[in-house]
A = this chain, B = another copy of it.
């Protein structure tokens, strides 16, 4: 595996693959990799000739009160995991390399679907994501890019942006990787105390319970209230419990495919999860 830290050296590393018309798969990450990320790389390996993973903790997608400075940076361990799983090129640029010194004045802004769910409590977050992913798409020029379904809203925003801006790139969503007890894998799980770690799987349990209730014709509103009550009782501070269509449109009843979304805090750690519930 090659590791490149500049746009120029990345281009040099990818040039032979481009000349040979090999397909390039791209997995953008912020590092601190777990099996969820590695699943994205495995999926990319299946579909593309060459796999590029980026590790870049992107300052412009963190709010002023968020954890940019303390976000875990574990490049050495990440690099070893990526090499083991067959990543071809790791792109790990500095903030300086990505944003430079000149005034930065351009943002890619996705409306509406960024104003629900996590967008309500994280102003500007998805603009930061859409902007950096646009830059990375231009730098890597992949044929296909891979995103985890755990950040379902992020995936929906990237899909919308890709379609709206006519990017010549296929977007693939990869199912959530979970611990044996059901907890969705996340870089933030490392912040949990042992006790919190034991409580955390209740999010996924409440989602699967909710699916069962929906299939027994319990009304959607009642099901959502019940998730909220269960998690609050277990010690979570709820940010949102919501149902939307897969494209993040509003939905009033379980009369089509829906996605159940939860964001909740255990202590200072904010966890998110979701579950697709197929109608047919």
Query: Footprint of B on A, CB under 8 Å?
Result: 7, 19, 21, 98, 102-113, 130-131, 134-135, 138-139, 141, 160-161, 163-168
For A163, the closest partner residue in chain B by CB is B102
Known contacts: A131-B165, A168-B138. The answer to whether A108 contacts B105 by CB under 8 A is no
Taking a contact as CB atoms closer than 8 A, the residue among B19, B108, B131, B166 that contacts A139 in the complex is B166
Known contacts: A19-B21, A21-B19. The answer to whether A106 contacts B166 by CB under 8 A is no
Query: How many whole Å from A116's CB to the nearest CB in chain B?
Result: 12
Report B-chain residues with C-beta under 8 Å of the C-beta of A106: 108-111, 130, 160-161, 164-165
Inter-chain CA distance A166–B108, complex, in Å, is 13
Query: How many whole Å from A221's CB to the nearest CB in chain B?
Result: 26
A134 near B19 with CB under 8 A, answer no
A134 near B21 with CB under 8 A, answer no
Query: How many whole Å from A28's CB to the nearest CB in chain B?
Result: 13
Inter-chain CA distance A164–B132, complex, in Å, is 10
Q: Main secondary structure on chain A at its contact with chain B?
A: mixed
Inter-chain CA distance A161–B139, complex, in Å, is 14
Taking a contact as CB atoms closer than 8 A, the residue among B105, B135, B161, B163 that contacts A166 in the complex is B135
Inter-chain CA distance A171–B112, complex, in Å, is 32
Inter-chain CA distance A215–B131, complex, in Å, is 43
Report B-chain residues with C-beta under 8 Å of the C-beta of A131: 165
Query: How many whole Å from A211's CB to the nearest CB in chain B?
Result: 28
Report B-chain residues with C-beta under 8 Å of the C-beta of A103: 112
Report B-chain residues with C-beta under 8 Å of the C-beta of A19: 21
Report B-chain residues with C-beta under 8 Å of the C-beta of A107: 108-109, 111
Report B-chain residues with C-beta under 8 Å of the C-beta of A167: 138
Known contacts: A135-B166, A165-B131. The answer to whether A108 contacts B108 by CB under 8 A is yes
Inter-chain CA distance A7–B165, complex, in Å, is 13
Known contacts: A110-B105, A110-B106. The answer to whether A138 contacts B164 by CB under 8 A is no
For A134, the closest partner residue in chain B by CB is B165
Taking a contact as CB atoms closer than 8 A, the residue among B98, B165, B168 that contacts A141 in the complex is B168
Report B-chain residues with C-beta under 8 Å of the C-beta of A21: 19
Report B-chain residues with C-beta under 8 Å of the C-beta of A111: 105-107
For A131, the closest partner residue in chain B by CB is B165
Known contacts: A7-B166, A138-B166, A166-B7. The answer to whether A113 contacts B105 by CB under 8 A is yes
Inter-chain CA distance A111–B139, complex, in Å, is 22
